[in-house]
Structure 1
Amino acid sequence: MKQVKFAIIGTSVITKYFLEVASSVPEFTLTAVYSRDLQKAKDFGASYGATVFYDSLEALAADQEIDAVYIASPNSCHAAQTIQLMKAGKHVLCEKPIASNAAEVKEMQKVAKENGVVLLEAMRSVHDPAFLEIKEHLKKLGTLRYASLQFCQYSSKYDAFKAGADCNIFNPIYSAGALMDIGIYCIEAMLALFGEPLLVTGMGTFLRGGIDGAGAILAKYEEMIVELTYSKITGSQLPSQIQGEKGVMYISKIAEPNEVRIVYNDGAEEVIDLPVCKNNMVYELETFIKAVKGQKDADEFAQLSRGAIRITDEVRRQIGLTFPADQKIGENAYED
């Protein structure tokens, strides 16, 4: 069994979740950790078995022992870091959203193809077998007419932000905010389940500094309407739902669907049997490793990433949400 030797960029909570589950994947080996602060890289990585530590991306890119890199840096860093590493022959599993805008995604996917490496967005939900069960059971609902997909989760950083603190997740400099952080889950689920909409209309609730704390998107399809609701400044326990002419499907959490049931028009109820998983980040890693080994084609997920970022671009245009990264569009920002 060939091991895939990984480096990681990012030492946040999401990286901890990733590494906790990565240890259960036999082909995964953590070799290196990068941080701008070398001591932070050592302190973080040693407890997970890393043996090499970097505070230089150039040095990491030049390390021939590294096969792949998991990137969980701020969103605004994703494109430049991914491109630099792919040009050095590294496969990249990049946290969602894969980039700040569609221009960056186009360049990233171009570089991946030119260098013969795998680029995969770490969108855990669409790799989850439970999500595949949702898709398989949709036909039981008859003609689909309406869906409401939501992800509303009060941010652990919001109280500090309200008290005046600077928080990356509420800062447009880092291409952050509610749409990019959790609205993206709703968007990619919609695309994976129903395909590209005919048009989208977006709305946003803005906070200090010109960042969105919550929002909603209405998407029009030929025969149905999809409503996406997302928030980092409020919470909700309501399930997502998909309504058809024969019944309605209720989904516990769109990012990690662990409870799904259908209630038919006659009142009969069907509970969908789902695989049990404590951390569904494992599935994105399994997909990535299979793609690296040539056992799986990741093109369908690349299409999802392109479609989703086009929608975030359009919604941001409509609501007036801009990022410094948008100023690079049209520039030769990624030349050596």
Structure 2
Amino acid sequence: MIRLAVIGTNWITEKFIEAALLSKAFKLTAVYSRQRATAEAFAAQYDDPACFDDLAEFAASPSFDAVYVASPNSLHCPHTLQLLAAGKHVICEKPLGSNLAEVEAMYQCARDQGVVLFEAFKTAYLPNFRLLAEQLPRLGQARRASFSYCQYSSRWPKYLAGEQPNTFNPAFSNGSIMDIGYYCVASAIALFGAPARVTASGQLLETGVDIQGTVLLHYPDFEMVISHSKVSDSFIPSEIQGSEGAFIIEHLSESTGLTWVGRDGQREVLTLPQSDNSMIYEATAFAAQITAGQMDESAVTRSIDTARVITQVRQQVGVRFPADQA
């Protein structure tokens, strides 16, 4: 049983803990928050994990083996580096770092310490996404693809009211491409590898954060169009077109449905059942890497390539974070 700790006390942390416990591979033994009272209130719903409000004390604690990091994006790198240096395995929420340099430094630290660093990009581990990857040869020659993730943010009205929620604050390394746009870029790279070239455009707030945009991933034989937005909703699926037909993917990040449409127009529903808690698959994969004592190098490559593309996207659109100056 892997002893698990968490940084972060929000809904996503609760969901991951639920998934980790469902996997039967983890036991929650520690909780960190900047405020001890917050950590204690969060921990009260579980089986008496230790509580911490001092990060150095937390990292040095012998009470856990692995940590789930769900702090703000800008803190992913410093939190993860401190934990890796202390010999802890880390599963860190996507995006792993604020930019490519941070991500490369994080993986280098994991290698130096002989521990596992796992980016919590759940889509790649979902049954329907894995099936899609297996079925890609049915396309024949890939021709075009369109990945879309546009979702009206619950924080947007707060921004319009004059507040500055973390979602639209560059100090937290946030914005549309770093949030929901990430799923589209990482999914593309998981399926087709790194593109040969990237072209990006987007709309910025006065804060310098992007709220929506379009990304073209240029591959040698085809192009992928990515649409992402945090200020509008979209109800269209994602699609991959080929010489022999097309795949239609419902709700790409969750991959809730997968359909093949042949050139004759005949539809074949391929959808597999998935757990209601879609994080269980990444939790299981993380546990497997810890047990094996090594990282999945294909996942590491995907993570680094995704960071490289998103860094390029931000540079082209003009999104700059304080972390970029470090």
Q: Give the TM-score range, shorter chain.
A: over 0.9
Q: Could you report, residue by residue, the CA deviation over 1:86-121 in whole angstroms, capped at 9, with x for unpaired residues?
A: 111100000000000111111111110111100000
| Contact 2:216 2:223 survives alignment (8 Å) | yes
Residue 98 of structure 1: SS of its match in structure 2? coil
**What corresponds to 2:204 in structure 1?**
206
What is the letter of the counterpart of residue 103 of structure 1? A
The reply to whether residue 299 of structure 1 matches residue 282 of structure 2 is no
Alpha-carbon deviation of 1:208? 3.2
Which deviations, in whole Å up to 9, do the C-alpha atoms of 1:106-139 show, x marking residues without a partner? Answer: 1111110111100000000001121110011121
The residue number in structure 2 matching 1:266 is 264
TM-score computed with the length of structure 1 as normaliser: 0.95
Match of 2:213 in 1: 215
216, 227, 238: which is aligned to 2:236?
A: 238
Matches within 5 A, 1:1-336: 3-294=1-292, 297-328=295-326
- Partner Cα separation in structure 2 for residue 289 and residue 299 of structure 1: 15
| Deviation per residue, 1:31-74 (Å, 9 max, x gap) | 11111011001111211334210001111111112100100000
1:232-278 deviation per Cα after TM superposition (whole angstroms, max 9, x unaligned): 11111100000011111110011111211011111111110413221
What secondary structure is seen at the aligned counterpart in 1 of 2:177? helix
Contact 1:145 1:225 in 2 (8 A): yes
Aligned position for 1:334: none
For residues 115-165 of structure 1, the C-alpha deviation after alignment (integer angstroms, 9 at most, x for no partner) is 110000000000112111001112112111000011111111111111111
Question: Structure 2 counterpart of 1:185, which letter?
Answer: Y
Identity %: 42
- Displacement of 1:297 after TM fit? 4.3
Q: Measured at CA, do residues 180 and 50 of structure 1 come closer, stay the same or move farther in structure 2, by a change above 3 Å?
A: farther
Deviates more, 1:200-209 or 1:83-92: 200-209
How far off its partner does 1:168 sit?
A: 0.7
CA distance in 1, matches of 2:76, 2:174: 12
Letter of the 1:60 counterpart: F
Distance 1:60 1:276 in 2: 35
Checking the alignment, whether the CA contact within 8 Å between 1:251 and 1:260 is kept in structure 2 is yes
Contact 1:287 1:296 in 2 (8 A): no
In structure 2, the partner of 1:332 is none
Alpha-carbon distance between aligned partners in 1 of 2:277 and 2:230, rounded to the nearest angstrom: 21
Query: What is the count of residue pairs matched by the alignment?
Result: 326
CA separation of 1:148/1:104 partners in 2, compared to 1, >3 Å: closer, same or farther?
A: same
Residues 19 and 48, structure 1, Cα contact 8 Å, conserved in 2: no
3-state SS in 2 of match to 1:235: coil
Query: Is the CA contact 1:240–1:251 (under 8 Å) kept in the aligned structure 2?
Result: yes
Shift of 1:295: 6.9
Ranges in structure 2 where 5+ consecutive residues have no aligned partner: none
SS in 2 for 1:311: helix
Instruction: Map Cα deviations across residues 206-243 of structure 1 (whole Å, 9 max, x no partner).
Output: 12311111111001111101011111111111000000
Q: Identify if the C-alpha distance between structure 1 residues 287 and 296 changes in structure 2 by more than 3 Å, giving closer, same or farther.
A: farther
Contact 1:89 1:115 survives alignment (8 Å): yes
Q: Give 4+ residue runs of structure 1 displaced > 3 Å after superposition.
A: none
* Residues 173-204 of structure 1: CA deviation (Å, up to 9, x unaligned): 00001100111111110001111111010111
Q: State the superposition RMSD in angstroms.
A: 1.2
Q: State TM-score, norm by structure 2.
A: 0.97
| Structure-2 separation of matches of 1:250 and 1:115 | 42
Letter in 2 for 1:307: D
Q: Alpha-carbon deviation of 1:283?
A: 0.8
Gap regions ≥5 residues in structure 1? 329-336
Match of 1:53, SS state, is strand
